[in-house]
Structure 1
Amino acid sequence: MELIPESADLKEYLKPTNVIDYDNYAIKNVADSLAYGKLTDIEIAKEIYEFVRDNISNSGDINANEVTCTASEVLTKNHGICCAKSHLLAALLRYKGIPTGFCYQKLYSVDNKIPYIAIHGLNAIYLSSINKWIRLDARGNKEGINAEFSISNEKIAWPIKKELGEKDIPIIYVKPNAQIVSALTSCTDRDHLHLLWKAEIQHIFNKY
């Protein structure tokens, strides 16, 4: 799949926002520590990616009912769903000068035997040393999921299954999807978020 940047200006993919709040001291401290001694953007990106993938839990995997959203909140609470973890990865990488955007997939899921489309969040980063955008999936590995840092053959959590109607959204967005952010910040717990995800969130990106 050809990735399509929403903006041709790489500086747009370096800006902090209320959600990608890398002005936070803890985020700066972690990013600086992880990048220490690394000489290339590939080395820095790989170290930071693997930290978020492996050291920040996926909320669903640990059955955490609290919902996190902002990068600093995900770092402080030490967990987040896929989209929330993508916010933290973006903050850490943007702070270190690596352009980072947001990508989404529409994945087939089943709840109580009723199928629905789930939105999965991941990142794309621009590596100037190889003049290339690559996608990274910091969701967190477990049995059956083995996402890796790769600059050649993409290794994400869930390669799409077209026969099930799954789709990759090709756009590399500058900011996290506003509707997803609204859901993460308004839901009282993950059970509430799950209901909202099935009722409303699955319908975003319908043009794809």
Structure 2
Amino acid sequence: MEEYLKETALLDFSHPFIQDLIERQAWRNMAEFDRLKAIYDFVRNDILFGYNESDGIPASKILSDGFGQCNTKGILFMALLRGCGIPCRMHGFTIDKQLQKGAMTGFVYRNAPQEILHSWVEVYFEEIWYELEGFILDDGYLKRLQNTFPDCRGAFCGYGAATAYFQHPKVAFNRSNTYIQSEGIVQDLGAYPSPDEFFLRHRQELSAVKEWLYCHLGRHLMNRNIRKIRGKG
């Protein structure tokens, strides 16, 4: 398990921001299940769903941003887990861009690659590897999204969600796998000991120009669309 507890450049859990948070939350003083659940719930709801400047940024920066998406919230989740002695790894995928439709609109959606890098976190607890993806959308955003589409009672794909159970997705952790985007998966890229190794092997297929446009314009438009959803009751 040592490999799944190491600090890396992206999982920078010794950073003062991370250590201060762990101390304030007193996670190390909790029983292991309570610690895991508390960290999961923190990343799910205290770190809002939104789009950072890129995938490959360290956990301390994601915590400072206060928001993230699948890959970045996963990086923060892993750093907090390892900082509290809980082994974890990253499992990489690609997802169909249709999952992002609504968050992505207009020219941003048209110019996005058909398949987008995605990941969830696998946590080793009580001799079981749990697949945890349900932390990506915070409860506030998810409930607003459900209220925006009240007639959808089955599967839903869009606005950052891809689930077979839109009104009752499996997002709460209670010794169970959790999912919120898994129905949009196209390719399985395998499990990696750290996000550093995953991003070393896999990069989003964007030209330098498109990468710059995403960082400086596209993600801001996407975050604006998310704020619009949050404003709906």
Instruction: Note whether the superposition's TM-score is higher than 0.5.
Output: yes
3-state SS of 2:97 partner = strand
Mean CA deviation greater in 72-81 or 136-145: 136-145
**Alignment pair present for 1:166 and 2:178:** no
Q: Tell me which residue corresponds to 2:122.
A: 124
Give percent identity, aligned residues only. Answer: 24
Give CA deviations for 1:8-38 in whole Å, capped at 9, x if unaligned. Answer: xx11011101110011011012123334485
Conserved? CA contact 1:104–1:122, under 8 Å? yes
Larger Rg: 2
**Structure 2 residue aligned with 1:82:** 70
CA distance in 2, matches of 1:189, 1:95: 34
1:134 maps to which of 130, 147, 151: 130
* CA distance in 1: counterparts of 2:201 and 2:19, whole angstroms: 25
State the TM-score, normalizing by the size of structure 1: 0.69
1:93 aligns with 2:81: yes
* Matched residue count: 173
Aligned residues of 1:52 and 1:89 also touching (Cα < 8 A): yes
In 2: Cα distance, 1:132 partner to 1:193 partner: 41
Query: What is the DSSP-based 3-state SS (H/G/I as helix, E as strand, rest coil) of the residue aligned with 1:166?
Result: strand
Q: Deviations over 1:160-182 (max 9, x none)?
A: 36xxx72444x331111124887
- Partners in 2 of 1:12 and 1:48 — Cα distance? 20
- Residues 61-114 of structure 1, C-alpha deviation per residue, up to 9 Å, x if partnerless? xxx6x4461100001121223211111111111010000111123222243398
**Which of 23, 26, 31 matches 2:22?**
31
Checking the alignment, whether the CA contact within 8 Å between 1:31 and 1:48 is kept in structure 2 is no
Change over 3 Å in CA distance of 1:40–1:89 after alignment to 2: same
Would you say the 8 A contact 1:67–1:188 is kept in 2?
no
State whether residues 27 and 84 of structure 2, in contact with CA within 8 Å, keep that contact through their aligned partners in structure 1: no
**Unpaired stretches in structure 1, ≥5 consecutive residues:** 1-9, 196-208
**SS of equivalent to 2:85:** coil
Partner in structure 2 of residue 6 of structure 1: none
CA RMSD, 1 decimal: 3.2
- The structure in which a higher percent of residues are helix is 2
Structure-1 separation of matches of 2:72 and 2:202:
9
SS in 1 for 2:129: strand
Aligned residue number for residue 11 of structure 1: 2
